Structure 1
Amino acid sequence: MPRTVRVASVNVNGIRAAVRNGMGGWLDRADVDILTLQEVRAERTHLEDALPGWNIVHDESLSKGRSGVAVASRLPIAESRIELGGEDVDSRGRWIEADFDVDGERLTVVSAYVHSGEVGTPRQDAKYGFLDAMSERLPRLSEDGALALVTGDLNVGHRELDIKNWKGNVKKAGFLPQERAYFDRFLGESGTVVTGVDGSTGPGLGWVDIGRRAAGEVPGPYTWWSNRGQAFDNDTGWRIDYHLASPELATRVSGYHVARAVAYAERWSDHAPVVADYALGL
């Protein structure tokens, strides 16, 4: 019989703050097998305190109190890697891969935290460098029918459906045509030439946006809301947190949801967890 593995991804906006604000209660109810975290902003000991009994791999940012990614699991972690691209790619604390052996099948799960960027600054250059490195890594993760999942805060709203106020953000980092074109290629049909929203062309990589496939052609469901004004209450959000599955893994999905808090006061992060179930051991 196949085994269902539940994977949840969330930008915690600081693991210690998330725990103080109620993350533990949600996790107790969520029945998660693998948890990927972004913006951990903490040391290994803080993660262990927050997630007692979990198996953890972690890549801490070189800048104290910044970024940081982790994968925590109820399942044994076979191997992990943190390299993405060459020395010129700013990926420290932003990319970690964990391998799992589940009933005879190998699953690779990535926790990724893409740069937020800022138009016309080195921060945007770092973002494009990171997305270029992802473009090189994704085909290797999915080659030969491998089961792979890239999760996390990817800091790009791919389509107009992914941002409530998209018209006001077309010239801002997070919804720039050049950024969105990367996702056109990530999600384009493998073996075809894809024309991006910015007019650029490149090979489709065949990965699947599990959230968009599950929701269909509807706005959202959003995963991040600004703390300004009444963004959360009005659901004026962005869908920037993803599960991107390799083609073979995308055939194994049995459920997907965004665990949006029922009220602003009950949030423990400005992002909502993204949760999906995958069948392993077929």
Structure 2
Amino acid sequence: MAARTSPLRVATVNVNGVRAAFRRGMGDWLDGREVDILAMQEVRASTEDLEELLGPDWSILHDAATAKGRAGVAIASRDRAHIHRVAIGEEEFDTAGRWLEADYEVNGTILTVVSAYVPSGVAETDKQAEKYRFLDAVESRLPELAAHTPLALVVGDLNVGHRTLDIRNWKGNVKRAGFLPEERAYFDRFVGAEDQELYNDGAGLGWVDVGRKAAGDVPGPYTWWSWRGKAFDNDSGWRIDYHLATKPLADRVAGYSVDRAASYDTRFSDHTPVVVDYDL
């Protein structure tokens, strides 16, 4: 990327099918947001679809799911990536459309951005075992990313609410995938446990949950609401979309926003974009 004097704006959103999202107005949101790097999950489309929807001003990296019409991750940027990788260290995930890394050169420094889509899992099933294998791979990869560059960022739908603050109805979900103690323990290792010294400021593997750091100890702000019922209107949501940053990068956060739609009928996905400015 060219030399920058203004913050770099990185957005992530699970689009829940990018073609449907654009039909519902994602393009209007993107046109007014001045995003430099856009990470997407659950793309469920072809690279050609992405190119047509985003237009020629975007450089697009895309790892489609092995099964057509499912998962898929992408990173679109205003400049071409220096290099990109789709491996996460476990062969079964390499082409599953769930992990895509890109290196960008910004002001002489490498910034690594990962678009990640962790499986949702189902408690006490093979799907949950697959989710744990994926989280194991993430846990192994995070130190490697930090060793690769001090400025590394994993964004996306990580499908785990780390703390009780991250789910409106946490008491009703303690036995449900997304809030199981075993899942939350991974995030204790990533960023530290909430009662640990230097929690979210160098504890654990040293990564920082940018959203929790920005919001403080308050409920939410949530990033996903079911399409059903009044979940969105009642703000009965989950915070499962993250920016996980190395501490040197987290220390450069200049702004954080959850772009919650004004009303149910103006949503373009069941997730909302999470937008962060990094002063590089």
Does 1:180 find its partner at 2:184?
A: yes
Q: Flag structure 2 segments of 5+ consecutive residues without an equivalent.
A: none
Q: Distance in 2 between matches of 1:86 and 1:75?
A: 29
Task: Specify the SS of the correspondent of 1:136.
Answer: helix
Task: Specify the SS of the correspondent of 1:186.
Answer: helix
Superposed CA offset, 1:60-87 (max 9, x none): 0010100000000012211100001222
Letter in 2 for 1:267: R
Residue of structure 2 equivalent to 1:223: 223
Q: Distance in 2 between matches of 1:2 and 1:105?
A: 14
Does 1:7 find its partner at 2:10?
A: yes
Superposed CA offset, 1:80-105 (max 9, x none): 00001222447610000011001111
Letter in 2 for 1:206: G
Letter in 1 for 2:44: R
Superposed CA offset, 1:139-188 (max 9, x none): 11112761000000000000000000000000000000000000010002
Residue of structure 2 equivalent to 1:107: 111
- Alpha-carbon spacing, 1:257–1:48, altered in 2? closer, same or farther (3 Å): same
Task: Specify the SS of the correspondent of 1:70.
Answer: strand
Does 1:69 find its partner at 2:70?
A: no
Q: In the alignment, which of 127, 141, 165 is matched to residue 161 of structure 1?
A: 165
Between Structure 1 and Structure 2, the one with more strand by share is: 1
- Alpha-carbon spacing, 1:266–1:34, altered in 2? closer, same or farther (3 Å): same
Does 1:119 find its partner at 2:123?
A: yes
Please give the TM-score of this superposition, normalised by the length of structure 2.
Answer: 0.93
Q: Distance in 1 between matches of 2:197 and 2:135?
A: 18
Q: Distance in 1 between matches of 2:227 and 2:100?
A: 28
Q: Does the Cα contact within 8 Å between 2:166 and 2:238 map onto a contact in 1?
A: yes
Please give the TM-score of this superposition, normalised by the length of structure 1.
Answer: 0.92
Q: Does the Cα contact within 8 Å between 1:14 and 1:39 map onto a contact in 2?
A: yes
Q: Does the Cα contact within 8 Å between 2:86 and 2:94 map onto a contact in 1?
A: no
Runs of 4+ in 1 over 6 A off after TM superposition: 192-195
Letter in 1 for 2:139: S
- The Cα shift of 1:23 comes to 0.3
Residue of structure 2 equivalent to 1:40: 43
Residue of structure 2 equivalent to 1:242: 242
Residue of structure 1 equivalent to 2:144: 140
Letter in 1 for 2:259: A
- The Cα shift of 1:228 comes to 1.4
Identity %: 62
Q: Flag structure 1 segments of 5+ consecutive residues without an equivalent.
A: 196-202
